Amino acid sequence: MYGLHKAGAEIVIIDIAEDVAKKVAHEFNCKVKPYSELENSVRTSDIIVYAVDAATVKVLKEEWVNPEQVIYDVNYKPSFLTELAKKKGCKMVTGAEMLINQAIPGFKFYLGYDPDKQIMWDGFNSNVSEKKKSSIALIGFMGTGKTSVGKALAEMLNYKFIDLDEEIIKISGMEISNIFKTKGEAEFRKIEQEVLKKEINNSNIILSCGGGIVINPDNRQILKENAITVWLYNSVATSVKRGNDGTRPLLNVEKPVEAAEKLFNSRIGFYADASDLLVSTEDKSIEKIAEKIYAENNKTFGSKG
């Protein structure tokens, strides 16, 4: 309504809840008509904006619509209007187009480069519910709560919790900081991948991964193929505050926040590539974060829950 109003359109709002229609019309300085006027308004409009849930019983009748009209259905998925527009020869604008086009500037702002629009459409049209895995991997920068959230989520799902870094320590017999110091990062990443391959084959697990595991494209592929991968995210400042406890080899520098910003920016695209879900952990309790992952996992992938 705001956009149409700015464009100079004459807007008429009709809602079965007429008190709501009056309130919104007043806020946007638009006209309002009673629900009994729906047919006449539809017949005489140039643009029909359908903001009713797709599951709702058909509100518009076929004979009300003419080929010269534009139908804008804000639903992401096809509704009865999709076929009606085709049949009538109307120009059709969908909620999916709105979703993709509003995501483009957000993507560029967040990741720093233009997205491939076709890939975004391919992702939108893919059936994510087909990815039903019995394990969940948590990825993200240091200090995002992967261990704490993972333990809470494992308890909620009655899954086994596995901390990949702890497994690396067991296998190598060395603290991670010592591996970095004595053998170097390359050797650590080699061990990390070996442990990932071993643990990812388990069923019904919550796997907490190290912050740099996504650097290796093979690791990202392993995660995508074998688990529902959740990217836990918070601000870099929060990450440094939580995670700079002296045990992080890559932050033992004079200006840890600047180092962390640089490190995070070099990895952000890798986190995005590997993940199925993105969940913010900023200013949220461990329980709330775990509950959010639980709900989204069940809703999106139909996994246990």
Pick 21 or 53 by higher pLDDT: 21
| pLDDT grade for 246, boundaries at 50, 70 and 90 | low
pLDDT the model gives residue 251 = 62
- SS3 annotation, the chain: CHHHHHCCCCCEECCCCHHHHHHHHHHHCCEECCHHHHHHHHHHCCEEEECCCCCCCCCCCHHHCCCCCEEEECCCCCCHHHHHHHHHCCEEEEHHHHHHHHHHHHHHHHHCCCCCHHHHHHHHHCCHHHCCCCCEEEECCCCCCHHHHHHHHHHHHCCEEEEHHHHHHHHHCCCHHHHHHHHCHHHHHHHHHHHHHHHCCCCCEEEECCCCHHHCHHHHHHHHHHCEEEEEECCHHHHHHHHCCCCCHHHCCCCHHHHHHHHHHHHHHHHHHHCCEEEECCCCCHHHHHHHHHHHHHHHHCCCC
pLDDT digits (tens, 9 = 90+) for 156-201: 999 999 999 999 999 999 998 899 889 998 999 999 999 999 999 8
Quick one: pLDDT at residue 112? Answer: 86
Share of the chain above pLDDT 70, in %: 92
Q: For the chain, list the domains and their CATH numbers.
A: 2-98 (3.40.50.720), 132-301 (3.40.50.300)
